[in-house]
């Protein structure tokens, strides 16, 4: 899988990316957020192996890929669409940034928009779902901006409970995404040159 955006390359991991992936997952800031022990990279290594196994599956049900800076090639995080354990035509969306990239909301907007569009156009999905911590207000706002609706709030894992947060589930149907694209196309046709990513970034402020 390969997607180019203005500033990033979204692609399958290869073995040469392992050290960088394991490195950011072992970062003390990352482990503190998720209350993870330092296990010497075992958990992260097993995750990386799982992503590689998914890449080899036929048909491929789960896409979990890296986000790389187009200029430097640096790994900025990972994102994915997973179709296992959900109804046909549905995929679970996920994105995480490395601790060094936390707070780069335009990065999240640019990558999320590209991956969602890929899901609907290339994977022919009918619905994309996801979840986030209630403490992450910006992600919740971003989901709404993309046309998603909040469908549930529920108890999350221990690291959320410890912070007084809950899990927020959202859903984005194909029709809502198509409607948003039509709205953008009409705006472009009328001479509105505003950048959708900049608009979304203002929503996240």
pLDDT in tens, 114-173: 999 999 999 999 999 987 765 556 666 777 778 888 777 766 566 656 666 667 788 999
Burial grade of 112 (CB within 10 A; 0-12, 13-18, 19 or more) = buried
Neighbours of 127 (CB within 10 A): 19
pLDDT value of position 201: 42
**Percent of the chain predicted with pLDDT > 70:** 78
CA dist., res. 98 & res. 68, Å (int): 11
pLDDT value of position 51: 98
CA dist., res. 123 & res. 117, Å (int): 9
Q: Which residue has the higher pLDDT, 16 or 178?
A: 16
- Tell me the CA distances in angstroms from 178 to 120, 174, 202, one per residue in order: 9, 6, 22
Q: How many domains does the chain have?
A: 1
| Helices 105-121, 196-204: inter-axial angle, 10-degree rounding | 120
Could you check whether the bond before residue 59 is cis, i.e. omega within 30 degrees of 0?
A: yes
Specify the pTM: 0.84
pLDDT value of position 204: 37
Tell me the average pLDDT across 35-54: 96
**Percent of the chain predicted with pLDDT > 90:** 62
- CATH assignment of the domain containing 22: 3.40.630.30
Which of the given ranges, 69-73, 99-103, 154-158, 163-167, has the highest pLDDT on average?
A: 69-73
Contact 204, 141 (CB under 8 A): yes
pLDDT value of position 202: 38
CA dist., res. 127 & res. 176, Å (int): 10
**Residue 54 pLDDT more than 80?**
yes
DSSP state string for 114-157: HHHHHHHHTS--SEEEEEEETT-HHHHHHHHHTT-EEEEEE---
**Residue 8 pLDDT more than 90?**
yes
DSSP state of 6: S
Domain housing 130: 2-204
pLDDT value of position 124: 97
CA dist., res. 128 & res. 114, Å (int): 13
pLDDT value of position 156: 58
Tell me the average pLDDT across 88-113: 94
**Residue 78 pLDDT more than 60?**
yes
């Amino acid at each position: 899988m390969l997607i180019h955006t203005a500033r990033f390359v979204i692609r399958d991991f290869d073995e040469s990316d392992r050290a960088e992936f394991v490195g950011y997952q072992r970062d003390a800031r990352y482990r503190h957020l998720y209350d993870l022990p330092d296990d010497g990279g075992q958990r992260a290594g097993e995750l990386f192996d799982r992503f590689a196994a998914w890449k080899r599956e036929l048909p491929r049900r789960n896409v979990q890929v890296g986000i790389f800076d187009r200029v430097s090639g640096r790994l900025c995080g990972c994102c994915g669409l997973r179709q296992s354990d959900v109804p046909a035509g549905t995929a679970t969306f996920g994105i995480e940034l490395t601790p060094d990239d936390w707070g780069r909301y335009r990065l999240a907007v640019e990558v999320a928009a590209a991956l969602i569009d890929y899901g609907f156009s290339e994977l022919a999905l009918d619905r994309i779902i996801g979840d986030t911590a209630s403490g992450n207000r910006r992600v919740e706002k971003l989901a709404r901006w993309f046309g998603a609706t909040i469908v549930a709030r529920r108890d999350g894992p221990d690291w959320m409970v410890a912070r007084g947060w809950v899990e927020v589930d959202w859903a984005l149907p194909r029709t809502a995404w198509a409607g948003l694209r039509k709205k953008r196309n009409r705006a472009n046709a009328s001479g509105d040159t505003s950048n959708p990513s900049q608009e979304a970034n203002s929503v996240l402020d």
